[in-house]
């Protein structure tokens, strides 16, 4: 990671990996905030953006394989609060293929707001899909 930062490709990076519940990799390098020069530390928070998509798709496939979830089922079967505001027929498959019309999360949210799971779940459930409008 030091080489990656030194190359200029990244200003800061962090990685942690667990094996059987034990932390086996815990590394960081570089700068967390270029404006202040604050270095990356072991507890620095980063936006992960799309890095969780592959993991989420793998977990969903695992659940489908075990008969616990269906790709063509409405999301509301598993999350009833989601089935409002024009999303009643949105399927698990739509969500996985990014065709559900779900909105982006507002860029002005603080880390505390982003990590408030209850608030984020409620916000997403209440949204209208893009390309639709409430009547």
- Going by the DSSP 8-state scheme, the letter that residue 57 receives in this structure is H
Measured CA to CA in angstroms, residue 60 lies from 7, 79, 92, 96 at distances of 37, 14, 9, 9
**pLDDT tens digit sequence for 81-131:** 999 988 999 999 999 998 998 888 878 888 888 889 999 999 889 888 887
Beta carbons of 55 and 46 less than 8 angstroms apart: no
* pLDDT, tens digit (0-9, with 9 covering 90-100), for 45-63: 887 778 888 999 999 999 9
What is the structure's pLDDT at 133? 53
Spatial distance between the Cα atoms of 81 and 61, rounded to a whole number of angstroms? 23
Determine which one of 7, 48, 50, 118 is catalytic: 50
* Contact present, 101 and 130 (Cβ < 8 Å): yes
Q: Which of 7, 93, 13, 11 has the alpha carbon at shortest distance from 51?
A: 13
- Whether residue 48 lies in the annotated active site: no
Domain boundaries, the chain: 1-46, 47-135
- Which of these, 52, 39, 43, 51, lies nearest to 16 by C-alpha position? 43
Give the pLDDT confidence score for residue 50 in this predicted structure.
Answer: 82
What is the edge-to-edge ordering of all strands in the sheet holding 22-33? 12-19, 22-33, 38-39
């Amino acid at each position: 990671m030091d080489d990656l930062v030194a190359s200029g490709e990244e200003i800061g990076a962090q990685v942690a990996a667990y094996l059987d519940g034990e932390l086996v990799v815990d590394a960081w390098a570089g700068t967390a905030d270029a404006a202040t020069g604050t270095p990356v530390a072991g507890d620095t928070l980063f936006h992960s953006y799309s890095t969780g998509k592959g993991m989420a798709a793998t977990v969903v496939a695992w659940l489908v394989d075990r008969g616990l979830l269906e790709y063509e089922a409405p999301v509301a079967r598993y999350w009833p609060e989601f089935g409002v505001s024009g999303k009643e027929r949105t399927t698990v498959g739509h969500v996985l293929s990014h065709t559900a019309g779900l909105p982006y999360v507002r860029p002005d949210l603080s880390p505390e707001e982003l990590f408030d799971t209850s608030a984020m779940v409620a916000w997403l459930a209440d949204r209208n899909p893009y390309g639709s409008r409430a009547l």
